[in-house]
Amino acid sequence: MSQRPTALINARVIDPAAAEISAGGVLIEGGVIARILSPADTLPAEAEIVDCAGKCLAPGIVDIGVKVGEPGERHKESFKTAGRAAAAGGVTTMVTRADTSPTIDSPETLEFAARRAAQMSPVRLAPMAALTKGRAGREMVEIGFLRDAGAVAFSDGDHVVENPKVFSRCLSYAASLGALVMAHPQDPGLSAGAAVTSGKFATLRGLPAVSPMAERMGLERDLALVEMTGARYHADQITTARALPALTRAKEIGLDVTAGVSIHHLTLNEFDVGDYRTFFKVKPPLRSEDDRLAMVEAVAQGVIDVICSMHTPQDEESKRLPFEEAASGAVGLETLLPAALRLVHSGDLSLPVLWRALSLNPADRLGLPQGRMAVGAPADLVLFDPDAPFVLDRAKLHSKSKNTPFDGARMQGRVLRSFVGGTQIYARDGL
């Protein structure tokens, strides 16, 4: 890494903590933000100057819930391809899931993933570990050892720990260590085998469906156990309006609870499935338009804290099946930012509020120093043009898998440069 200071000037600087946008830039020295610049500031004579041409400069995205195929499913996504996709999408920290093959449920598998990421990926890795061995919901992992090995949170992904006694033990032990537990709010009995959300559309399409009430029931059970144990808890995805009152109440009574939502549930609805298009099959299934609007409002009000890509690569064969049988999930590292900017262009969210959910809140929740535009913070930054129009071509994605619901969609917002620790890790062609 160059020892010369770098000055990014002539930018619109987004500060999610102060909830403001200002003209100026940043001075980077030693991998951290040394100074927030105003247009009139004098720069060091030896500084390398990058003219941002009036574009937006923000903290790099901290994306919670990224699935990488290593170990076991490198044909779907490797740390190398995921890292490239993240850099191109302005994601400078990938918070990776434990639902690999084998499951990341021991210090050895966690250290393997961290080592591979350090070798192959240009972005930072913050790995999660499983909550139970093999994500089977029966036996708790060694939370203390895994935390010492670098796990930032513990989650069985979309596998619900069905036995409340087992889950409460996990929460109690995690609480004693101050560890964060991330769970998938869903009643597993009601949601088993479901492909879409129940309603007229599901009936017309003849697809197995799940009621939105399953999410509320799962969340209320989890929150009751959190209230009992005092654990730190994060709901990976809240997608239905019916779940919001329980979440709001938990926060009001002082439980240490946060929640996320995927970009797909903020920008798409159940009708996008259309004629059984499997790229739109995600978990939980896409919801009604009323639910989508309620999630956008919940993000604006801070009830939902985090927006994530829920990046889930699947190969072509697992998606080229009847809708009911096709694998769930969509890639999202490169589409997270332009899709999220739809909410800015529609007037639903401001850029600082959006970046609070994309960077500041996830970093704060995981105890990471990234995600903020402040002196002394790591110089993990993204420079982007929020208005640049383009049509998404899935064949051009850096991800190894191409299962995006946005293929062929008209989008606005291009990443121009990405920086990790002050080092440029991505630049659009021509820059």
- Are 300 and 349 contacting, i.e. CB atoms less than 8 angstroms apart? yes
Cα gap 289→300, rounded to integer Å: 17
- Report which DSSP code applies to 194: -
Cα-flanking dihedrals φ and ψ of residue 382, to 5°? -130, 130
Ordered per-residue pLDDT tens for the chain, 431 residues: 447 899 999 999 999 999 999 999 999 999 999 999 999 899 999 999 999 999 999 999 999 999 999 888 999 999 999 999 999 999 999 999 999 999 999 999 999 999 999 999 999 999 999 999 999 999 999 999 999 999 999 999 999 999 999 999 999 999 999 999 999 999 999 999 999 999 998 998 899 999 999 999 999 999 999 999 999 999 999 999 999 999 999 999 999 999 999 999 999 999 999 889 999 999 999 999 999 999 999 999 999 999 999 999 999 999 999 999 999 999 999 999 999 999 999 999 999 999 999 999 999 999 999 999 999 999 999 999 999 999 999 999 999 999 999 999 999 999 999 999 999 999 997 66
Q: Could you tell me where the DSSP H helices lie in 59-106? A: 79-88
- Residue 413 Ramachandran class (φ > 0 left, ψ -120 to 50 alpha, else beta): left
For residue 194, give both structure tokens: 């479901």
One-letter amino acid for residue 292 of the chain: R
For residue 392, give both structure tokens: 């998404």
**CA proximity to 178, closest of 219, 135, 148:** 148
- Greatest Cα pair distance in the chain: 68
Q: What is the torsion angle, in degrees rounded to the nearest 10, for the CA atoms of residue 204, residue 210, residue 213 and residue 215? A: -140
For residue 304, give both structure tokens: 């939902």
Which residues share a beta bridge with 127? 96
What tens digit of pLDDT does each residue of 24-80 get?
A: 999 999 999 999 999 989 999 999 999 999 999 999 999 999 999 988 899 999 999
3-state secondary structure 284-320: CCCCCHHHHHHHHHHHHHCCCCEEECCECCCCHHHHC
